[in-house]
Amino acid sequence: MRNLTLTTTSTSTISSAASCPTDLEGEYQFPHLIIPVNKSAPNNAYGTSFFGKFTPEVSSIFNFDIPPSYAGMDCSLIFLFPEKSQLQTSTYEFSGPGIIDVLQLNQIADESTTYSNVPSIQKNWGNITVAPGHDYSIATFACPADQAIAFELISEDGTSLSYFQDYNPPPIGLYISKCTME
């Protein structure tokens, strides 16, 4: 059985003067590792993937490396979901209501991570409801400069989404953008 322990952390204060983009116009980070985990095969490690996948059986963990230059800045976790007809170098399959639960994990995943040994939850950022043609700001937080962080995205209510993570125009997937001071 999977450990879903929530560890409490202090909340961060976000500057009201910060502008946090929901696109890739400024500085941003893409996931350096995407790990799928499958609750129907809880002890199987699938290694790294280029695809984000959220189905009733499979969730994906995204590792991000935050550079030292982000010290003292705010970061925004964003999900970009263009219309399929806009994509040039990627594609996706999508069905269901589009509800995805977003969890920040206490540790990053690695190629041996399975559903049974997913790191514990640091913070549940709640559900987002996604639909093609929209960009989403999921959470804004103090950038953990010079650290790696991980987020798990989990299907809710029968949502099924599988896409090739791609920053080519138009980008699709999960990213962290650096907020700028206004």
Q: Residue 59 falls within a domain, yes or no?
A: yes
Q: Residue 11 falls within a domain, yes or no?
A: no
Whether 35 shows a pLDDT value over 80: the answer reads yes
Residue written as token pair 């995407």: 34
Could you give the CA distance from residue 124 to residue 151 in angstroms, rounded to a whole number?
10
**Mean pLDDT value across the chain:** 92
Residue written as token pair 């790294």: 48
Q: Strand, helix or coil at 115?
A: helix
**pLDDT number for residue 2:** 52
Among residues 177, 162, 28, the alpha carbon closest in space to that of 100 is found at 162
Total domains, the chain: 1
Q: Residue 175 falls within a domain, yes or no?
A: yes
Instruction: Answer whether 0.75 is exceeded by the pTM.
Output: yes
Could you give the CA distance from residue 104 to residue 154 in angstroms, rounded to a whole number?
11
Q: Residue 106 falls within a domain, yes or no?
A: yes
For residue range 94-121, list pLDDT tens digits in order. Answer: 999 999 999 999 999 999 999 999 999 9
Q: Residue 6 falls within a domain, yes or no?
A: no
Q: Strand, helix or coil at 129?
A: strand
Q: Residue 18 falls within a domain, yes or no?
A: no
Mean pLDDT of 142-161: 99
Q: Residue 3 falls within a domain, yes or no?
A: no
Among residues 87, 94, 100, the alpha carbon closest in space to that of 136 is found at 100
CB 131 within 8 A of CB 99: no
Mean pLDDT of 134-145: 98
φ/ψ of residue 175, rounded to 5: -140, 165
The radius of gyration of the chain from alpha carbons, rounded to an integer in Å, stands at 16
For residue range 4-25, list pLDDT tens digits in order. Answer: 444 333 333 344 456 999 999 9
* CA 94 distance to own-chain centroid: 17
Range of the domain at 166: 26-181
Q: What is the CATH number of the domain that holds 119?
A: 2.60.120
Q: Residue 138 falls within a domain, yes or no?
A: yes
